[in-house]
Amino acid sequence: MTGRVLDGKVALVTGASRGTGVDIARHLARAGARVAVHYRTARDAAGEVVATIRADGGEAAAFGGDVARSDDVRRLVADVAARLGPIAVLVNNAGPFDDTPFTTLPEAGWDYVMAANLKAVYLAAQLVVPDMRRLGWGRIVSVGATSGFVRSHGAYGLAKAALLHLTEALALELAPAITVNAVVPSQIASPRTDTLADYKARAIAATPLGRLVTQDEIARMVALLCSPAFDFVTGRAIVMDGGRTLPRFPKLELRSD
């Protein structure tokens, strides 16, 4: 995306102190947004993201809170609006992974995964929508996961599947001024993935495009969904998995004898 298409608009990015969230914050800042860099505990890392954005000529500030806690979500949205202005762009990127089997998952673990990955999205949307409606414009983008397409990733997969349903429901409810979409990546190329050589190799082998999606690619797609190029797209999940989840049958070798 080129140009300052989000010039002056306030964007809140949850989970922006590390990983893909860092790249999302940077891309939105380059598009002219005033970025609220959210962190849970990594205050220093969030400060570094803010410093990088400012050094690049952008505007940003760091805000703390645990999105699994409703009071923290309310405080986060209120603090961002008070300090930077009404939120026009909401990117729900925070979402802890936990694939503990349902039969052994503690109730507290269930509550945390569902709160951070799903409830926080609903609540944040509810809180930012009034200002978006007053502005006459808004963009909500959630970062999902292909875990929502499988049945072996426990409560995390369930939450990510429900996130897509919520995305579609919000898109219908908030049209026409506000669009709501999701970006759904598979395994992401990252320093952490690099430490899991066997896992990474198997993931690449299962991906038709022969590699893993990068954090920058995901961030660019999020920024595009917030740009005029996607003004007529809402309620959609942009799957970035290199074709991995496409249905396939094993190749059959027909014998001629």
Active site residues: 156
For the chain, the distance separating the N- and C-terminal CA atoms, rounded to the nearest angstrom, is 57
Total residue length of the chain: 257
Cis peptide before 106 (omega within 30 of 0): no
Q: Which residue has the tokens 């499988």?
A: 150
Residue 67's closest CA among 17, 103, 19, 104? Answer: 17
3-state secondary structure 105-151: CCHHHHHHHHHHHHHHHHHHHHHHHHHHHHHCCEEEEEECCHHHHCC
Radius of gyration over every alpha carbon of the chain, rounded to an integer in angstroms: 19
